[in-house]
Each structure stands twice: as C-alpha cells, then as structure tokens.
Amino acid sequence: MNYLILASLLIGTLRTSIPLIIGAIGEIFNERAGITNIGIEGVMLFGAFIAVYGTWLAQNPFIGLLWALLSGIAWGLIFGAISTHLRGDQIVAGIGINVFAMGFTEMMIPLIWGTYGYSESVNRLPPLFQLYGERISYFLPLTVLLAVLSSIVLYRTKWGLRLRSCGENPLAADAAGISVYKVRYLTSVFSSILFSLAGAYMGIDWNDSFVKEMTGGRGFIALALVIFANWKPLLALAGGLLFGFFDALQFRIGAALGVGVPPQVPQMIPYIATILFLLAIGRVRGPSAAGKPFVKE
C-alpha cells in the first residue's frame, strides 16, 4: 500500500511539474531576451480555457491544442509589442493580463456552457501509456526534450547568443546589427506559446474540463522557478520536479497523514515551499536588461 502511495506520488510529481517547467522555460527565454512577463499565469489560464473550448466545439482535443497554440501566438505578439514598440511597463501589463484572463475566462464559462465556475467535460488528449492505472502524458517526454533543446539553443547556437545579448546589453546587440525588437517579438511569441500549451495541458490532458482559476498560481510558481533555476533550462527541469513534488504532495499527503490534518495544510505546501525556496536562494542577478524597454533613437 505504501508502494502505491509512493508510486502515485512520483507520477503525481511528474504530472504537476510539467506546467511549472514549461512555464519556467518560457520565462527563461523571455528574460534572457530582455522581457519580463509576469502574465504567465494569465496566458496559461487563457490557454487552458481556449483548449477546452476548442476541444468542446470540435470534439477533438488536437483542435483544442491548436487553438491554444494560436492563442499563445496572439498573446506573444501583444506582449512583444508592449515590451518593444509600445515601451510599456511590463510588470503592470503582466498584472493586467492576469486580471483580464481571470475575469474573461470566468465570464465565458456561463456564456458557453451555462454553468458557473466549471465547463463541461471534454475529450482529453490520448496518453502516451498507462502506468499503475495512471496516465502518462505525451507532454512528459516533450517537456524533458524541451529543457534539453532549450539549453542547447541558448548556449550552443548563434540564435541563443543573439537572444542572450538582447537581454544583457541590447545596445551592444543593436550595434552588432541584431534587431533587438525582432528578437524580442520572436521570443515573446515562442514563450507565450509555451505558457499557453502548459495551460492546454492542464485543461485537456491532466484534466478534462476548464475550472475557473484552475492554474492556481502555477504561473507565479513558474516565475519563482526561473529564479531558482538561475535562468538555466536544465536547472528549471530539475527544480520543476522539486516544485512539482510539493505540488503533488498536497493531493497525497492528506491520504498519507490520515484524517486528522485539515486539507488546507497540504494545500498550502506548494506556496510555502515556493517562499522558502526564494528565501534559501537569496539575492540573485538575472539578465541585466530584463524588463527594461530598449529605446532606439
């Protein structure tokens, strides 16, 4: 029986870590290119909603996935514009995206499904395989692959070099003939696609419906994970598993500890763990130009 709890905890860890890792890697790309998007949560939530909606309409989860992809591209373009041509305040805009996504998705649920707070059930994406009766998602190997490829792209290719130069010293990048705005637009689109797909995963792979605020702060935990990972994709993979473990723990620890523990205690674990991680890491320095608009004369 303990075996089963352990196995389910491990599988749960893998499952919960996926959106954290994908979100963190997206934001690593962002900040490495000089963008700070704290709207991860919002774009994720939006992705979850649109994936469920698309799946519901077409009765096909792959269509839902495609919708989430398109939504990611749209958000990426919007935030790309905010962080470049519009010279916006990126933190404030990120907050706005979160508030908008929360309100909009909750507003749309009754308009579409006539229910409040949750959608109808939809078809999920097919699992890779089943293990002990638990689904193992395609997203799992893809997430690992993403981390490895991201690391290679960032450190071993000219695109990575250019991207990082935009986040460290956009003036130097510009002087070297690199279009800082182009790099930032592309990065923003790529990262927002990742956020959106992470949301889609939550909507139509991990779960089979959209529930209001279903991302539950994971976009912000991903933000903490970026700092924890020191802006490195492979460390985000490792750290994501650790964060995912605490996230998974909240669903299992009640069972493990028995009836005496109020459910709120395990629910708090991922949040408190995140704070403790931040405290343990202390002051860190990310890419020098992250979040700062680049003004070209």
Q: Which residues bind other proteins (CB under 8 A)?
A: 38, 42, 82, 86-93, 95-104, 106-107, 109-111, 116, 152, 156-158, 160-162, 164-165, 168-169, 171-178, 217, 220-221, 223-224, 227, 262, 264-265, 267-268, 271-272, 274-275, 278-279, 282-284, 287-288, 297
Report how far residue 186's alpha carbon sits from residue 179's, in angstroms, rounded to the nearest whole number.
Answer: 11
Name which of 89 and 208 has its Cβ closer to other proteins.
89
Task: Give the pair of three-digit tokens for residue 69.
Answer: 């992809």
Residue type, 1: M
Judged by CB, which is closer to other proteins: 19, or 61? 19
Closer residue to other proteins, CB minimum distance, 87 or 256: 87
In angstroms, what is the minimal distance from the CB of 160 to other proteins? 8
Of residues 50 and 125, the one with the C-beta less far from other proteins: 50
Cβ 290 to other proteins shortest distance, Å: 12
- Which of 178, 222, 213, 273 has its CA nearest to residue 37? 222
Question: What's the closest the beta carbon of residue 42 comes to other proteins, in angstroms?
Answer: 8
* DSSP state letters, 5-37: HHHHHHHHHHHHHHHHHHHHHHHHHHHHTT---
DSSP code string of 32-84:
HTT---TTHHHHHHHHHHHHHHHHHHHT-HHHHHHHHHHHHHHHHHHHHHHHT
Residue 136 CB neighbour total at 10 angstroms: 16
CB of 3 to other proteins, least distance (A): 30
What is the rounded CA–CA span in Å between residue 249 and residue 226?
21
Integer CA distances (angstroms), 101 to 13, 23, 130, in order? 27, 16, 33
The CA-atom distances, in angstroms, between 74 and each of 112, 116, 179 are 21, 27, 21
Asked whether 150 and 194 are in contact (CB, 8 A), the reply is: no
- Min dist. Cβ of residue 162 to other proteins (A): 7
Give the strand pairing for 129-131 and 134-136: antiparallel
Least Å distance between CB 123 and other proteins?
A: 25
Residue placing its CB nearer to other proteins in the complex, 38 or 51:
38
In angstroms, give the least distance from the CB of 114 to other proteins.
10
Complex with other proteins: residue 100 or 138, whichever CB lies closer: 100
**CB nearer other proteins, residue 64 or residue 291:** 291
